[in-house]
Structures are given as C-alpha cells and as structure tokens.
Structure 1
Amino acid sequence: MSSEPDAKKAKQPVRVWCDGCFDMMHFGHANALRQAKAMGDYLIVGVHSDEEIRKNKGPPVMNEEERYEMVRACKWVDEVVEDAPYVTQLDVLDKYNCDFCVHGDDITTAGDGQDAYHLVKAANRYKEYARTQGVSTTDLVGRMLLMTKTHFTSDEEDKPMSIPHVSEMQGKPKDIVSPYTGASQFLPTTKRIVQFSDKKEPKPGDVVGYIQGTFDLFHVGHIAALKKARSMCDFLIVGVHSDKNANALHGQNYPIMNLHERLLSVLACRYVDEVVIGPPLAVSAELLDHFKVNKVFRGSRDAADNAGGDIFAEAKKRNIFVQFDSGSRMTTADIVRRIIKHRLEFEERNRRKSKREVDRMTENDDDAGDDGDSGKK
C-alpha cells in the first residue's frame, strides 16, 4: 500500500504560547521559558504592556521596551509578541497558531481577582510547569526595599564581616544567609546549572572572547554589552564575579542577587556560550591560556576601575584587550534608584498582590495546590 497520504501529513511543529510581565527578568523567568519550550517545538512569548500591568497588578519596575528586549535575549524564546492581553485570550492563541498556553503552577489573577487563564483552561488549551522556588520579582523588589547603607560596612575597616551563626537561622530552613545577599532563598544545584548550559565547545579556528562582570539584577545594559561582545567573536565566555569580589567593586549593599542566581541569568542569555564561575578579579595569564582567549572585552559601564589596579594588564600586554560602548546607559544602581524613588508604590503593589493570592487560596482551599509567585505575572 502507498504511504503517500502519511508523507503528505508530515508532523507539524508544536507551537507553545507563554505570557507574562517579565518584570526585572530573572532566572525564575528563564527557567519558566525553558520548561515552556520543552513542551513543544516553537515558543511564542507574549509580554504585557505597561498599561496592562498597571491596570491589573501595579506599576512595573522596567518599562515595556526594556522587558521586550530582555525576553528576546532569552535563548529558549523563538518569537516575542508585544502588548499581549493580561487575561490570556483564545483568539490570540489562534492568531499565532499556538496549540496551547503554558504557565507555572502558581495562582495568577487579574485586577478583578479572576483567574488570568480561565478562558484557556475552559477550552482545555492550558498546561502547567513547576514554578522555580526561591525567587520572584516581588522578592527582588523586597530585597531592594530592605537595603540599608550600613549593610556591608563595619566599624573597623579591616574587621571581617560577621556572618550569622546557625542559631540565628533557626526556623528559616529555606534561607541561604550570605553576608552579601542575606535575603536570598535560592538553593543552587548542579542539575539546574546543567539545564541552563548549552554544553558547547569552541570549534577549531573560532575567535574566543572573554568578558567579566557582576551581572546583578540582569538587565538591558548587560544584554547590550553581551550582544556587542558576541558580535566581535565566535565563542563568548563570561566570567561572573563572586559575591565577595562583586561587593569589593560595587560596595554598599551589592550584590542584590547571589553568585548562583546571577550565573543562571547569564547562562540563559542567547549571546553567551560559556560561563566561568567566580573568576579571579584580575584577568590572569592562566585564565587566558586555559580557555585560549583571543579577545578580552570591557564594556564602558563596568566597575573595573574600583578594583584598585589595572585588572586587564595581562590582556593589554598581549594586545587582545578591546574596550567598547554598548550603547546602553542602564546600570544596576539605576534599577535600585527606581525602586527607592517609588518605594511606597511598590510596597503597595506587593501588598495587594499578596492579598489577592491569599484571598484566592482561601476561596479554593480544597483544590489549590502548591502556590507561589513564579515572577511571570
């Protein structure tokens, strides 16, 4: 018998829809998109406008153009749809030929308290993935609202910073207490790092580039620098500073996010091929030789001048140092200033969001599963 009908009916790619605010995009968002992409072949991500977010949730920290750019830079995203409706619509899924919508297993409500996914759920075009524990946009805003000028300082300049004794952490089994990022609840695992890694190696003849930084509260400024660096090499290696070195460079309360949180955000970027975890502050001959680096990059907005010496001396000696302007003026400090400037608005936003979720959990107490804020909506 002929197999011609089967040949004509080739398997169509599964198109997946995923939407959200993606405000202050972090590794929790990236992991959500990784899981969404794994459910199909082509991932379309709808990003809500500033107006939609204000109407349903409160003021966003990042504006819509910044959020669109951040989502486009995630390596699991195939297409971005701007100004997506907050309540997911069936006609939008149809317009982009999406088979179904996916979202985390947490509760997401619109401004009127209604489930933002009730339409796609009713049509049986909804699937869930496990939320990422230990991080959310609400959590990051909270960390910045709790910032104090003396958090990282001591009375004596050479006095070592005190770390809380284990007895002070009783009753907080999920907390990871760090002298730099004491608010973090992220539990790092090798499995998560492997999931985010491409496991790529440079090919023979590739120009290998290296750039390093703190990459705290991963933002469009970081994206612009990494994109520019990647355009000047074939394989880009990124060094992510340890918490200690990050604090030495930036001072005060930095970093907001710990090393492993920052590492995952960098790994999720489509312009990054490999990451070095906590490299030496000064770019050493050993590092350059080990990775066979051909170019060492420095963006115009990094804090290397605060290191107390020329950390790029070896690269300059080898004539492989490249300094560039990414074109972006965004810094982590700018984000913190936004939060502090609008402190009361964000505190109220967090309070309202928590209340809506608690109210909905109470209403659905019998069938509500494990809840939480995946950071998406």
Structure 2
Amino acid sequence: MGLWRKIKRKKKPLRVYMDGCFDMMHYGHCNALRQARAVGDQLVVGVVSDAEIIANKGPPVTPMHERMIMVKAVKWVDEVISDAPYAITEDFMKKLFDEYKMDYIIHGDDPCVLPDGTDAYAVAKKAGRFKQIKRTEGISSTDIVGRLLLCVRERSVSDSHNHSSLQRQFSHGHSQKFEDGGSGSRSGTRVSHFLPTSRRIVQFSNGKGPGPNAHIVYIDGAFDLFHAGHVEILRVARELGDFLLVGTHNDQTIR
C-alpha cells in the first residue's frame, strides 16, 4: 500500500497546451479553456502576438497586454506564454515538448487555416500529439463585431428604431450581408444558437459559499464586452474581503 502511494505521488502531471488570439475575449473562449483543462492536469495557454494576428487575420481589437490579463484571470489556466506563434511550427512544437514539458496540443474542432491554405496544427497532428475539443456554438468574436456593426448601421439608417428592435437585431448576431461579404440592402440575419444550460453554468461555478465569519464584498455592473478593466476592478474588489459576490445587470436595466 505504501509503495502504491509513492508511485502515485511520483506520477507526472499531464500538461496540455492551447493557444489562441483571445481577441475580445468571451464566454466561448472560457469554455474552450475549461474543456482543454479537463483533458490534462495542467493547462498552459499561448497568447498569439499582435504581429502574428495582423499577418494572419488582420489587426486585433484588443492589444497583447490586455489579452494577457484576460487569459491569466481564467481559473482553468495554470501558465501563460506570451507572443505565441499563430501556427504550430516544428521548432515551436519542440520547444513546447522540451522546455515546457507539454504532452499534447489542443484546439477546437473548427478549422484553423493559414493564409496559404494549410492547417495551422498540421505538424502537431502528424506527430500524434494533437487533441481536439468541441467548439462552443452560438458565440464568436466575429458575431460580436457583427452585432456592433449592425447597431451602427441601424442607427445610421434611422434614429427611430426602439430598444426592442435593436435588441432583436443584436440577438440574431451579424447580418447576412456581413456574413456573405455583400453590399446589398437585404437585412436577413443569422439566428444565434447561444443558450447556456443550467448544467453549463454549474460547470463554471466554483461551488463555494462564504464561511460563517467571512467578510463579504459586493460589486455589480453590466460587464458588457468584458475587458481587462473589468478583470482589474474585480481583482481589487476581491482583495477587500474574504468572499466576492458579483451582481450582473439584466438587459432591461442596461437599456
């Protein structure tokens, strides 16, 4: 029995690597990190540099240092690597395995294609060190940008749109003309399938309540387009007590 415990104690933790741009970080990013962490014992996250994003996708909305703050704040992340490359190269993969002691490289089941049409994770797949997780449906940075563009377009066409009309448009995501890249006036929309279940919400909860003598701090806000400033104010609030309770305003209150 004692020998078995000693062997178990010496077992190497399974370390997994996941990278991403994490631009305009949202729930889908966090859910991906949650799934990645569940694959192993330790999750190391690479945050792609501004230069790499510009070369492969165009300028990021959120600069590198803010994206780093956001990723570090996610509870499933154990370590963060800054200025990660957009594609997994032979040299970088060797660095991950030799220096960071990674066991697997993880990405979602959505395709990640480079400008030349090749798979950004082809090297890892060929090496047999790639694992795939399910992409979170109904939410993406592209959809968020689409909602913002749609709001601007609606207001420029007419200032008479009421809040209900705008809310309906926002809930649909980006319009068909943005999705197709066309310039027509058709206002069809793609319906969002983003619907978090109670089970999913529980997966994000830490399941802990305040102790009997805990000093409880409360802070509330809209937290719309959650950003590094929100992370910082929540961090400061948490340091003021033993337990932080956060209230989120509903859509009606924000409007």
TM bracket, shorter-chain basis:
0.7 to 0.9
2:93 to 65, 90, 95: 90
Deviation, structure 1 residue 10: 2.0
The alpha-carbon deviation at position 52 of structure 1 amounts to 0.6
Amino acid aligned to 2:121? Y
Q: Deviations over 1:254-275 (max 9, x none)?
A: xxxxxxxxxxxxxxxxxxxxxx
Q: What residue is the counterpart of 1:259 in the other structure? A: none
What are the within-5 Å matches in structure 2 for residues 232-247 of structure 1? 232-247=240-255
In structure 1, the residue matched to 2:61 is: 61
- Contact 2:96–2:102 (Cα < 8 Å) also in 1: yes
CA–CA separation in structure 2 for the residues paired with 1:130 and 1:8: 31
- Give the deviation of 1:141 after TM superposition: 1.2
* Structure of greater Rg: 1
1:127 to 124, 131, 138: 131
Structure 2 residue matching 1:210: 3-state secondary structure: strand
Call closer, same or farther: CA 1:243–1:111 in 2, change over 3 Å.
same
What is the alpha-carbon distance in structure 2 between the residues aligned to residue 225 and residue 180 of structure 1?
Answer: 31
Residue 107 of structure 2 aligns to a residue whose secondary structure is strand
Aligned-pair CA distance for 1:183: 2.9
State the AA in 1 paired with 2:94. Answer: D
| TM-score, scaled relative to structure 2 | 0.83
Provide the C-alpha distance between the structure 2 equivalents of 1:242 and 1:50, rounded to a whole number of angstroms. 34
- RMSD over aligned CA atoms reads 2.5
Distance 1:208-1:55 versus aligned 2 partners, 3 A rule: same
Match of 2:81 in 1: 81
* Pair 1:143-2:147 in alignment: yes
Q: Is the CA contact 1:16–1:102 (under 8 Å) kept in the aligned structure 2?
A: yes
- 1:95-141: per-residue Cα shift (whole Å, max 9, x none)? 21010011100100123221110111000000011100001111111
Distance 1:5 1:136 in 2: 45
Count of aligned pairs: 230
1:224-303 matches, cutoff 5 A: 224-247=232-255
Higher RCO (CA-CA < 8 Å; seq separation 6+): 1
- Quick one: which amino acid aligns to residue 129 of structure 1? I
TM-score (norm 1): 0.57
Higher helix share: 2
8 Å CA contact retained: 1:17, 1:44: yes
| Structure 1: tracts of 5 or more residues without a match | 164-176, 248-377
- CA change 1:213–1:180 in 2 (3 A) is farther
Question: Cα gap change, 1:183/1:190 in structure 2, threshold over 3 Å: closer, same or farther?
Answer: same
**Are 2:103 and 1:114 aligned?**
no
Does the aligned pair in 2 maintain the 1:44–1:80 contact within 8 Å? yes
Deviation (angstroms), 1:8: 8.5
